[in-house]
Amino acid sequence: MAITTHHQSVRWAFSRPNGLLLTTLIAALCVALPVLVVVSFVLTGVSDAWSHLLDTLLGRYALNSLLLSVLVAIGVVILGVPAAWIISFYRFKGRGVLSWLLLLPMAYPAYILAYTYTGLLDFSGPVLTFLRDMSAPEWMMDPLLNIRSLPGAALMLSLVLYPYVYLLARAAFMEQSANLMEAAYTLGQSRWRVFTRIVIPMARPAIAAGTLLAIMETLADFGTVQFFGVQTFTTGIVRTYYGFGDTVGAAQLSTLLLGCVFFLVIFEKASRSKVRYYSDRLRKLNQTSVTLTGWRQSVAQILCILPVLFGFLLPTTILSYWALFFAELQSMWSLITNSFFLAGFASIFIVMVALIICYANRLYPSQWLNHTTTFVGLGYALPGVVVAIGVLIPFGALDRLISQALAPFGVQPSLWLSGTLVALVFAYLVRFLTVATGNLTSGLSRVRPSIDQSGRLLGLNQFGVISKLHVPLIRGSVFTAVLVCFVDILKELPATLILRPFDFNTLAVKAYELAGDERLIDASVPSILIVLVGLIPVIWLNRSVTQE
């Protein structure tokens, strides 16, 4: 039993300067800053541009965001749930490979899928040329030609986001106790009744949680909707900020978007608490699954391969083909070194902050610290665009202050913070700190308090406990944390786009710019690099999941 003294840790935090606790507080303030800045503009009243926005564009942004969310929700459930169900309840040839192939689309940022399909389905591209040669009817070609639309964006997002639903639903199906299903059979229920009355209702919280995550990502998406010309909150925020130069309007739009995300987070947390409630560790389903043969087996294989085919195999083949044989691109090396340096530096920095927070929680556990850490965890739900605007406004103000202060010394005004990597790394910290703390917390929680206490009683001091016991035991989770942060940063488009220093390009930004110039073939090079690096944690994580 881990008993620690609550009131003592609070006393320690305030009576002695304590680096760990101080850093945790500062990190919490950092995460809070963009949100507070953005929300504070609610009180400043309505600007002219904003009232114009209300009249004309707001309705469209809201409607498009809503439509897109609904379509993606339907899409991820259609793609994710049947696959999870087949993988969990049936045995067939290729099941093992398919169970992890189905995760691979996670490596794709939706905007890269959008660029790839746009290039593939171009009027003069291979698919439509072939269809015309075959004199295919109009109704077949029209939707393909119109991929750059709201339904098209929903399809792209669904194809990369369904793994959330698949993963959570699969876990929920597999955690269900075989005893419950067998109890239902002994009560005379048919297979179908058991499925609809027991299996699906028990997995519903998990499916809901996965779908809500997908909707959060959809609302945060900028690259896909921007490229497809679908006007949503994120494109609206960027347009208001840059197009109309209206900070207040952009902040107020951001607040609206934050409000939506806030509700999604609450619903997601509620579903998750039920997931725990429904799971049962007594006896797992695995032993009772049915073996499929003949045409049933083929149907199962096809249902599972389709999402992978369109979400990963096809686009990857095409991207590699373009990148290897057609793309013309100079200065790839500076792009790669820029991206990797930035992502590497930022991810190590973020993991170091996360380590401090995790140790503060472990060494001085208390209620307020726990709440602070949960609060820091909300950063991941913030859309990149909102974080960027929330960082840009206060850093810009700080820059003006610094410039004013330095003016008497003859120093030229400059963007000391907002135009440098400081702002960008700060934004990454806000957005991805959770990724790191999540990985580290799960690693550290496996090192039980009694392990620390054994070490102390066997002659180690606090530092010895960390160096001789924690370092070897949590090395793996530290590595995973760095890796996952690295990849997330590499994929992050809107925050990088808005906050990067002048002339500083990364792979994601370059892919965005080239696609914007309709150089889709050339965009394949940075795109495939992002996807390949993005594959590493997907495979790595799947390996650790299946090992457990």
Contact flags string 468-497 toward another protein, x per CB under 8 A: -x--xx------------------------
The Cα angle at residue 348 between residues 347 and 352, in degrees rounded to 5: 115
Nearest distance, CB of residue 509 and another protein, angstroms: 42
In angstroms, what is the minimal distance from the CB of 358 to another protein?
19
Position 398 contacts another protein (CB under 8 A)? no
| CA–CA gap between residue 254 and residue 86 (Å, rounded) | 40
CB of 409: closest distance to another protein in angstroms? 52
Q: Which helix (H) or strand (E) covers residue 75, if one does? A: helix 58-89
Give me 322's structure tokens: 């373009």
Count of residues that bind another protein according to CB under 8 A = 22
**Which lies closer to another protein via its Cβ, residue 408 or residue 459?**
459
Nearer to another protein, 167 or 474 (CB): 474
Q: Which two tokens stand for residue 224?
A: 């896909």
Q: What distance in Å separates the CA atoms of residue 187 and residue 101, rounded to the nearest whole number?
A: 37
Cβ closest to another protein, residue 94 vs residue 464: 464
Helix axes 58-89, 150-175, angle to 10 degrees: 40
Which CA distances in Å does 451 have to 127, 233, 474, 475?
61, 49, 13, 16
Minimum distance from CB of 442 to another protein (Å)?
A: 15
Report how far residue 444's alpha carbon sits from residue 355's, in angstroms, rounded to the nearest whole number: 10
β-bridge mates for residue 291, sequence order: 91
Q: What is the DSSP string of 298-310?
A: HHHHHHHHHHHII
Nearer to another protein, 11 or 193 (CB): 11
Residue 69: HSE in the Cβ half-sphere, 13 Å Cα cutoff: 20
How far is 298 from 270, CA to CA, in rounded Å?
38
Minimum CB distance to another protein smaller for 6 or for 296: 6
CB 430 within 8 A of CB 382: yes
Which residues 434-473 are close enough to bind another protein by CB under 8 A?
448, 450-451, 453-461, 464, 469, 472-473
Point out which residues pair with 91 in neighbouring strands.
291
What 8-state DSSP symbol labels residue 423?
H
Residue among 414 and 467 whose Cβ is closer to another protein: 467
Exposure on the CB side of residue 37, measured as CA atoms within 13 A: 20
Longest CA span, the chain: 88
Distance of closest approach, residue 37 Cβ to another protein, in angstroms: 36
Question: Distance between CA 88 and CA 285 in Å, rounded?
Answer: 8
Asked if residue 1 binds another protein (CB under 8 A), the reply is yes
CA distance 506 to 136: 41
CB of 151 or CB of 365, closer to another protein? 365
Q: How far is the CB of 448 from another protein (least distance, A)?
A: 6
290 φ/ψ angles, rounded to the nearest 5 degrees: -90, 140
Mark residues 8-37: x for contact with another protein by CB under 8 A, - for none. Answer: x-----------------------------
Select from 366, 358, 352, 357 the least CA-distant residue to 14. Answer: 366
For the bound state, the minimum distance from the C-beta of residue 281 to another protein, rounded and expressed in Å, comes to 16
User: Nearer to another protein by C-beta: 296 or 448?
Assistant: 448
- b/e 356-393 (16+ beta carbons within 10 angstroms → b): bbbbbbbbbebeebeebbeebbbbbbbbbbbbbbbbbb
Note whether 282 binds another protein by CB under 8 A: no
**Least Cβ distance, residue 457 to another protein (angstroms):** 5
| Radius of gyration (C-alpha) of the chain in whole angstroms | 25
**Closer to another protein by Cβ: residue 396 or 449:** 449
Interface pattern 356-395 for another protein (x via CB under 8 A) = ----------------------------------------
Q: Which stretch binds another protein (CB under 8 A): 2-10, 110-118, 196-204, 296-304?
A: 2-10
CB of 369 to another protein, least distance (A): 14
| Residue list 144-203, contact with another protein (CB under 8 A) | none
Closer residue to another protein (CB): 374 or 450: 450
Q: Which stretch binds another protein (CB under 8 A): 1-9, 50-58, 103-111, 477-485?
A: 1-9
Q: Contact region for another protein (CB under 8 A) — 6-14, 54-62, 501-509, 540-548?
A: 6-14
- Touching another protein, residues 212-231 (CB under 8 A): none
> Which residues would be at the binding site for another protein (CB under 8 A)?
1, 3, 5-8, 448, 450-451, 453-461, 464, 469, 472-473
